[in-house]
Amino acid sequence: MNRSLQFLLLATAVLFSQMARGQQTTSRRDSVIQLYGVVMTADSLRAVPSASVIVVGKGRGTITNNDGVFSIVVLKGDKITFSSVGFKDKTIDIPHNLAENQYSVIQLLVADTNYLPATILKPRPTREQFERDFANTRIPDDEYEIARQNTDEQKRRALLAILPADGREAVNNQIRQQAQKYYYAGQLPPQNIFNPLAWAEFIQAWKRGDFKSKN
């Protein structure tokens, strides 16, 4: 008798649980709302394209099209935030007591105006001071001037003297030294002090200022 009573109580509990679950599913299905509408400016009633329509706390949303129209599935009681650059955010609540599963809104956004501090422009006291400041103002170099400076021979020589050689240059220099060593193996290499071409290159380098102190 006790076992029969326990079985009856267990079956009753399972039945009520399934009924409650079904009611929750039906209630949740009935709470789904198709929210649609248009977002416009409050002053001129023009469409606001690419405005964000966010369901607060749900991590989902949508944006308006070029005509300001949007459509999104929400639940009764959700909070919806409308936002766009240059406008103040607006949050609305979806009513709990909607009789239908559709809800339309025409949301107006108010322009968010930022006032910057005033800037007063004053001229130079005298024409002579303006001409002096104008002549001494340094204008930043453009891309053409930077390219011209980078191709200047004197600047390239100065960079060549201070910049370390890369891997390819180091290998080529090592190969040239080994080739010269093997070429003059068993004999004295020529001395450039008696080479007129070397003296001519030395004189040109002296005139260019290659041996001047960089400091």
What integer best gives the mean pLDDT of the chain? 81
Q: Under a CB-based contact definition with an 8 Å cutoff, are residues 53 and 62 in contact?
A: yes
The model's pLDDT over 120-176, given as tens digits with 9 standing for 90+, comes to 888 777 888 888 888 888 888 888 888 888 888 888 888 777 877 778 888 888 888
pLDDT of residue 109 exceeding 70: yes
* Span(s) in the chain for CATH 2.60.40.1120: 2-109
- Per-range mean pLDDT, top range of 1-15, 51-65, 118-132: 51-65
Average pLDDT for residues 93-102, to the nearest whole number?
Answer: 88
Residue (of 38, 88, 46, 42) closest to 63 by Cα position? 38
Instruction: Say what the pLDDT of residue 38 is.
Output: 95
Q: Give the sheet arrangement for strand 52-55, strand by strand.
A: 60-63, 52-55, 79-83, 90-93
Average pLDDT for residues 76-93, to the nearest whole number?
Answer: 93
Q: Domain 2-109 carries which CATH code?
A: 2.60.40.1120
Least trusted range by pLDDT, from 31-45, 46-60, 65-79, 160-174: 160-174
